[in-house]
Chain A
């Protein structure tokens, strides 16, 4: 077995192109268990903890970019505006695990138990994959995640990170497990309101689709369906305006 220790993204991608079988490792919280228990003996491992480009995060062109190598501990400390992701991060493993584990690991492992994935799905995130020469592509999350422990990542690619359009509206992450820490979830949920772009419009469409309007002298069925759509959107806006979730959301922020 060879362990490759690239010091930059360009170097890591060159190594991955030359050794496509090399298994990427960052926090090691999944890969090392496989090694320790002799379940998997990769021919090569490429360590991504020395690649500074993967540790970046921040707003970029109206979206938020989260590098694959950002740990859950850093998300909790540094991403004050991403409440649901912070809450999800706090439920990952233990302090020791959160100091190492990364969102890139959740994506690469593609286990249905990946806590961060729930939040990425709720935010309709994209996954940015990159190959040698700077060739990159962004895949919607449901194109990247192909099934249980299966992804669309090509053998010569690495996960650069994930990005999504931030929303101002309240959201939260919650999880049920057999205990509070160090647990693989039994069920998880991320709720993210997005009034402007998705929430109200989707609700209004659903209400309109559920209606069974008639055609008569006072209005056509098509007009009635449209009117119900407008009423539903208006009513939800009123309700949301009157019943705000306290800022910070449920579950606290500490």
Chain B
């Protein structure tokens, strides 16, 4: 039996609740992610994707409802506990890489571990392991401005991996990449996922989404539809996503 990594229970988020025009961005979201899953969340701009991701990533808190990651209710955490939780349990990959230009790839990858005050020796081992998982051992001592977009994003992926998080969140990770680099990146993520790491991807790009095992569609703050890649080739799944998007957005 697999373990549940993430569950959300009737999550609501209302902005400007006390003003005359409150805006409800999320209207009761419930779903769960099992260990080792590769889940995509798709939706148009303004559908509530980013709000949901921020709440899942403990950067924001829901107005009501519950979010549990690795068995822990993250909606009750205090700011410092939230920060510690992120550094220990969550990994992030952003659209625009977000690497520190003045640190080498190695130092960038090491950041989450040094934040936890890990021992230098342990950091070295973990960084090299993470670099190996995304195939960047040969560029690890270069600075970000010496790397291509795809390489930068793989450094970012290694940084997300290095602290052995329970789940990795990807926020449009291929948004700033050309098609070749995007494919490489998604292959790398698939590879990471096959080693048992759970991944939750937020995207509006059907191509990236076609690498996921399961996709939830979000519209106007609610999850409207869900499809699974089980038993389908990636091409077929891609077609299905395109079809769904066509009907779903109507």
Q: Indicate, yes or no, whether A interacts with B.
A: no
